[in-house]
Structure 1
């Protein structure tokens, strides 16, 4: 029997991708965004068709040869039903539990091995608090961890993984984290909290995240030792096989064979179909700014501040803060800057390093920086895809977490027999 898990606040499934790729069986994915729910359903189709050696049918969908409805008709309805489009709240929890209970019964699953998920992080992020008039003191998202606790109490998973931004450590002077730990202990768990950086797990991105892991008090588990990756690659190893495109353009053909990094990481496989290599359009003034930013980095390895731009290009009144609002994703560095959800609003912080293209990252390029494989398809349109990517846990980091937990869980179950 495979290890089982429930994924709440699932988003596009960055965390769940790490667990699925390690052979865990998903009981339920709980997510409030309709676009992300469709992404999760499409990913369920990928894993089912892959398991049955029918990836050609999945690729037909990526090539627009069959519709989404036709793709979904190729898999058991129970897989699609495991994706629950639910907004978690005090009022919705009992109905949600009824749905999950029904899924457990239909899959003949008695116990939950792992609960994973990270509530929306805007209320804890430093940038979010800086932009809020009252430091997000009254934001209801501050207390979504109480709903996480309710799921712990209901299903008693052996282990849980709670992901969030480093700002959680200092939000309200650390009071949220202190109460969170207290609530999770009250639910019957020992726990430990560490900051992990995705760049240590094969992701070419400097992304620090709080990973809080808890285990049943009497289980004998401990915080796992994650296997770190030491290979040295550069951001250009992520991007060089993709064809040049202008703002507003797209392409569905690779420009060259995959790099060693793309093959080793599993981001691009031999049978993959290129999707979402689509760039947003830009006004000419922004493209001129992009060229200045790219040129300054390429010529002097300096990050151009907004206040250093030619006066005719400076239209923002704010000249004292957020001066790095335009930033190139440098191809000659080992990591890109942290990918965040703001990329769904504009791409100024994620400028492609090729001055001839003078554009922000395409959806696929952003997904690769997050370590999503090329066979991962995002539903819901371009803006929704960028939002899903920016909010996600990098799958390669999630894979390291899932792999280390799998070892502990399998050893524990072996000893229980």
Structure 2
């Protein structure tokens, strides 16, 4: 069950498939920081398989450098992370490197999703030409070329809901026709991450494709429903309280035992090591606004309207749109609003619900909302904590818990062929 992950990002989609028993042959990603994250995660999975997890834990505790961690890992595992942009210029080199990997001659599955800015409603709204001339619109063509190159049994293509309406739906229809031309049938699924027990409202299009010589009877993924048993507060209960600009990069102890959700979702897995529970600093003005937003939610159950702030706290000239630009991650709901890559720029849309901590989410809290396990470390280009790079990777990722459940569906049908 060999797979390659295209446009891999930090590897959230891949993480789910690895948990389900699939074997990663290669990850292809152009962002250098994300590639370091992928290598570090590959190191973790290798060491876990070899019963040498202590080496990885020593790295988390800053007892080893990144280079020293990688020195324990076979070269082919690290070289399986290919730091190149997908396209005509680099594809021959990418294919060569994939073919050289163990399992690279037989790929059973391709997963991944091209960058979504060109299809997203927000991206189009902010673009002068509505993203019509953005070259990322046609990265699905490159994806299809990889299908032709490796002829996998299945593929999984993930993207934003805006894919339905981008260019009046013409891109989606072109995808369907192109995948058909390459020999693949597809089924579209409009999925909600919270239905897969991710504590976040995150709507995504997931296309499952299969080679036309196969006849899988795929279940209706849209029928999956969460138990509704858990609430957002379940991700916060065991974490040390910190204020704006505080936290520990690589190692600290948990505040208390894990909630039931953290164990069920495999976010806490018995290892008493906490990393990247660190938050950005905020101005005094922002902290005043945060307190107003949290107080309004706690007392009235209402979101803060930017126009309702005192005049001395209003600095934005735009008073007609993005009036909810300051938003609390409400702990009493079954799921939060969507975590997006904008969290790398500021934390105003992700205010911590504890008014006493008075800050935006830490890197680890954002990762938990995306269902990443706590032993997942987000790297920067340079070794050491890079908060911006980590937030960007988290915001762009597919929730691993959701990916795992999709992977298990694929696996059940894969065994029949």
TM-score scaled by length of structure 1: 0.96
| Cα offset, 1:89, TM superposition | 1.7
Contact between 1:329 and 1:353, CA under 8 Å: does it hold in 2?
Answer: yes
Alpha-carbon distance between aligned partners in 1 of 2:308 and 2:207, rounded to the nearest angstrom? 41
Alpha-carbon distance between aligned partners in 2 of 1:230 and 1:182, rounded to the nearest angstrom? 37
Contact between 1:86 and 1:96, CA under 8 Å: does it hold in 2?
Answer: yes
| Cα offset, 1:325, TM superposition | 0.8
Alpha-carbon distance between aligned partners in 1 of 2:103 and 2:160, rounded to the nearest angstrom? 35
Alpha-carbon distance between aligned partners in 2 of 1:72 and 1:238, rounded to the nearest angstrom? 31
Cα-Cα RMSD? 1.1
Alpha-carbon distance between aligned partners in 2 of 1:33 and 1:150, rounded to the nearest angstrom? 21
SS in 2 for 1:282: coil
| Cα offset, 1:223, TM superposition | 3.3
- The aligned counterpart of 1:245 is 242
- State whether structure 2 residue 3 is matched by structure 1 residue 5: yes
SS in 2 for 1:176: helix
Contact between 2:245 and 2:281, CA under 8 Å: does it hold in 1?
Answer: yes
- State whether structure 2 residue 241 is matched by structure 1 residue 236: no
**Structure 2 unaligned residues grouped into runs of 5+:** 381-385
- The aligned counterpart of 2:258 is 258
Alpha-carbon distance between aligned partners in 2 of 1:295 and 1:213, rounded to the nearest angstrom? 44
Contact between 1:163 and 1:211, CA under 8 Å: does it hold in 2?
Answer: yes
Q: What is the CA deviation profile of residues 77-131 of structure 1, one whole-angstrom value per residue up to 9, with x for unaligned ones?
A: 110010000111222112211111122xxx1554211100010001111111111
Q: What is the number of equivalent residue pairs in this alignment?
A: 407
- State whether structure 2 residue 174 is matched by structure 1 residue 179: yes
Q: What is the CA deviation profile of residues 6-65 of structure 1, one whole-angstrom value per residue up to 9, with x for unaligned ones?
A: 100000000000011111111110000111000000001111111122111111000001
TM-score scaled by length of structure 2: 0.96
Contact between 2:254 and 2:272, CA under 8 Å: does it hold in 1?
Answer: no
- The aligned counterpart of 1:415 is none
Which residue of 399, 402, 407 maps to 2:407?
402
SS in 2 for 1:326: coil
- The aligned counterpart of 1:113 is 108
Which residue of 131, 141, 144 maps to 1:146?
141
Contact between 1:215 and 1:222, CA under 8 Å: does it hold in 2?
Answer: no
- The aligned counterpart of 1:31 is 29
Structure 1 runs (4+) deviating above 3 angstroms are 222-229
- The aligned counterpart of 1:354 is 354
Q: What is the CA deviation profile of residues 121-180 of structure 1, one whole-angstrom value per residue up to 9, with x for unaligned ones?
A: 011111111111211111111111010011000001100000000001001111111111
**Structure 1 unaligned residues grouped into runs of 5+:** 413-417
Contact between 1:125 and 1:166, CA under 8 Å: does it hold in 2?
Answer: yes
Contact between 2:343 and 2:349, CA under 8 Å: does it hold in 1?
Answer: yes
| Cα offset, 1:194, TM superposition | 1.4
- Which is further off, 228-237 or 364-373? 228-237
Alpha-carbon distance between aligned partners in 2 of 1:387 and 1:362, rounded to the nearest angstrom? 13
Contact between 2:231 and 2:331, CA under 8 Å: does it hold in 1?
Answer: yes
- 1:56-205 alignment to 2 at 5 Å? 56-103=54-101, 107-205=102-200
Contact between 1:224 and 1:405, CA under 8 Å: does it hold in 2?
Answer: no
Alpha-carbon distance between aligned partners in 1 of 2:180 and 2:361, rounded to the nearest angstrom? 42
